[in-house]
């Protein structure tokens, strides 16, 4: 029987919003998502020891625009060499400055990069065996189409002030942090696509502990 009451570890909690059916004939494909600075990567990494396959969309987004890649060439063709550093690598700050205040330019960059990221992610996640779990750390699940490839979508949320503090301590200016949050959907919309909602309102170790309880209770209850 599925335990549907919320799970708590310290100040962090997980809430089952939309149960799913586990299949024994194919792997469980799990997306971990949430707003910038919410803690989704921390949660996803805590699931990694239980995952048979793992992919990180932000990392793949870096890989597909390494020097010499078709991805970087396509970006330069569209935006010019002003988006490059002197050593030929992508100037990430410059590209961020262009796209986070302009949704049309952001959509153009996404059109170039997202198919390349998705192709790499599929290759990594498809290596999971039928009884295993594939975990994808992916920031952008904004509509039903983006949620569709996953059996389970776990959304991580945190209070706005905490997200801002974390982003600033990671080197973004307060204005840039606000701008990135404003460029994303809000948590009410994220809830529409969540199978599980995680409140990252405790310590980091609470969040990591909660990830393990979520695996044992909901994701792989028969394996653990
Ligand atoms: C603009 C870029 C170069 C800025 O790089 P930077 O190192 O500062 O940030 P990083 O890549 O680590 O992203 C951090 C976070 O920004 C947010 N973010 C990134 N891209 C987007 C986007 N298109 N829309 C909304 N939020 C985004 C996400 O929450 C992400 O986790 C980079 O974010 C990028 O290439 N974005 C376009 C590709 C994309 O959509 N990536 C998201 C993963 S699919
Ligand atoms: N509960 C917490 N308490 C304190 N720090 C935390 C907590 N959760 C996460 N952090 C820290 O906040 C920062 C952002 O967390 P993380 O990278 O997991 O977020 P994210 O949602 O993946 O961010 P991004 O969208 O930028 O990739 C990290 O430095 C992480 O160690």
CB of 185 sitting under 6 A from ligand 1: no
Instruction: Convert the pLDDT of each residue in 62-87 to its tens digit.
Output: 999 999 999 999 999 999 999 999 99
CB of 163 sitting under 6 A from ligand 2: no
* Residue 23: per-residue pLDDT: 82
Distance between CA atoms of residues 88 and 152, nearest Å: 39
7-11, 24-28, 78-82, 124-128: range with lowest mean pLDDT: 24-28
Which residue among 41, 179, 184 has the greatest number of ligand 2 atoms within 8 angstroms of its CB, and so is best to mutate?
41
CB of 170 sitting under 6 A from ligand 1: no
Looking at the DSSP bridge assignments, the partners of residue 154 are 32, 196
Which residue among 96, 137, 150, 176 has the greatest number of ligand 1 atoms within 8 angstroms of its CB, and so is best to mutate?
96
Closest CA to 54 of 62, 46, 65: 46
Instruction: Convert the pLDDT of each residue in 116-166 to its tens digit.
Output: 999 999 999 999 999 999 999 999 999 999 999 999 999 999 999 999 999
Query: What separation in Å is there between the alpha carbon of 2 and the centre of ligand 1?
Result: 36
* Residue 224: per-residue pLDDT: 58
Between 23 and 137, the higher pLDDT residue: 137
* Residue 132: per-residue pLDDT: 94
Instruction: Convert the pLDDT of each residue in 167-209 to its tens digit.
Output: 999 999 999 999 999 999 999 999 999 999 999 999 999 999 9
Residues 6+ apart with CB under 8 A from 80: none
* Residue 223: per-residue pLDDT: 65
Mean pLDDT score of the chain, rounded to an integer?
95
Residues 6+ apart with CB under 8 A from 67: 88, 89
Distance between CA atoms of residues 157 and 199, nearest Å: 5
Ligand 2 atom at minimal distance to the Cα of residue 34 = 21
Is pLDDT of 1 > 60? no
* Residue 133: per-residue pLDDT: 96
Nearest CA to ligand 1 atom 3: 92
Query: What separation in Å is there between the alpha carbon of 168 and the centre of ligand 2?
Result: 11
| CA distances from residue 111 to 33, 107, 174 in whole angstroms, order as listed | 20, 6, 28
Q: What is the mean pLDDT of residues 53-61?
A: 98
CB of 142 sitting under 6 A from ligand 1: no
Known binding residue 40? Answer is yes
CB of 58 sitting under 6 A from ligand 2: yes
Between the two ends of the chain, the Cα-to-Cα distance in Å is 15
Strand order from edge to edge, sheet including 133-137 = 7-9, 12-16, 196-199, 152-157, 28-34, 133-137, 53-56
What is 107-131 written as a DSSP string? HHHHHHHHHHHHHHHHHHHTTS-TT
CB of 98 sitting under 6 A from ligand 1: no
Q: What is the mean pLDDT of residues 45-51?
A: 98
């Amino acid at each position: 029987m599925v335990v549907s009451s919320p799970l708590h570890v310290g100040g962090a909690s997980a809430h089952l919003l939309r149960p799913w059916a586990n299949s024994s004939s194919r792997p469980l494909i799990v997306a971990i998502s949430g707003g910038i600075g919410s803690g989704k990567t921390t949660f996803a990494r805590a699931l990694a020891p239980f995952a048979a396959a793992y992919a990180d969309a932000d990392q793949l987004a870096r890989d597909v625009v390494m020097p010499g890649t078709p991805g970087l060439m396509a970006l330069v063709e569209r935006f010019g060499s002003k988006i490059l550093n002197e050593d030929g690598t992508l100037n990430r700050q410059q590209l961020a400055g262009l796209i986070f205040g302009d949704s049309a330019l952001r959509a153009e960059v996404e059109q170039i990069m997202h198919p390349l990221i998705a192709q790499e992610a599929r290759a990594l996640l498809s290596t999971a065996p039928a009884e295993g779990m594939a975990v994808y750390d992916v920031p952008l699940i904004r509509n039903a189409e983006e949620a569709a490839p996953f059996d389970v979508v776990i959304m991580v949320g945190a209070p706005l002030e905490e997200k801002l503090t974390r982003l600033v301590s990671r080197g973004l200016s307060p204005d840039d942090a606000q701008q990135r949050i404003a460029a994303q959907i809000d948590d009410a919309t994220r809830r529409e696509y969540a199978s599980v909602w995680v409140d990252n309102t405790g310590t980091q170790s609470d969040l990591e502990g909660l990830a393990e309880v979520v695996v044992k209770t909901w994701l792989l209850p028969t394996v653990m």
